[in-house]
Amino acid sequence: MPRNVIDVGQSLKNVLLQAVAEHRLTLGVFECAQILEVCPEEVMVCVLPYMPSNDVAVSIQHKLIEAHCWENGINVFRVDSSEKLTTLLSSGDVKGDVDRTYDMSCIAVKFPLEELSPDDHLITRFSYAPGETLHDVVELPA
């Protein structure tokens, strides 16, 4: 990969793994909506797995989460696979890994208590280039 190309998927993976180890994740649409309503300033980024648009209920829930995040200046990343997300967060490779039975249809990552890592900085400052949209899907590395 050329030096000036940013691998957003790898950075997002690193942020998620660090957040799991530090217990900074909120999982589930309703739980994320609640934290976004009560204390949005604590949320660094939201992650939504790609879901086929034929599930209207999930689509509406994701749109509401996206709107709330945009209203509060929180970056939202749509990732390519809920299975990859579940495997990543429950792999057992990370201290504090997540139970596979949790709702991973929406993930809110809180800011760390200490200073931001380089990957945290990248993810919080990432913005889409002209012509790209939020609906572009970030590929999580395996």
For the cut 50, the answer to whether the pLDDT of residue 130 exceeds it is no
- pLDDT tens sequence across 22-60: 999 999 999 999 999 999 999 999 999 987 767 788 889
- pLDDT tens sequence across 55-75: 788 889 889 999 999 999 999
> Residue 43 carries which side chain, given as an amino acid letter?
V
For the cut 70, the answer to whether the pLDDT of residue 92 exceeds it is no
Give residue 66's pLDDT: 92
Measured at the CA of 77, the angle between CA 115 and CA 23, to 5 degrees, comes to 45
> pLDDT category, 76, cuts 50, 70, 90?
very high
Does the structural domain 25-124 have CATH classification 3.30.1330.30?
yes
Count of residues making up the chain: 142
> pLDDT category, 4, cuts 50, 70, 90?
very low
| Residue entry with tokens 């572009």 | 136
Give residue 3's pLDDT: 46
For the cut 80, the answer to whether the pLDDT of residue 135 exceeds it is no
For 46-78, give the DSSP string.
EEEE---TT-HHHHHHHHHHHHHHHHTT-EEEE
Strands 43-49 and 75-79, bridge-based pairing:
parallel
Rounded average pLDDT over 89-109: 73
pLDDT above 90: percentage of residues in the chain: 49
| Spatial strand order in the sheet of 43-49 | 25-27, 107-110, 43-49, 75-79
For the record, the structure tokens of 22 come out as 């530090």
Please state, rounded to an integer, the average pLDDT across all residues of the chain.
83
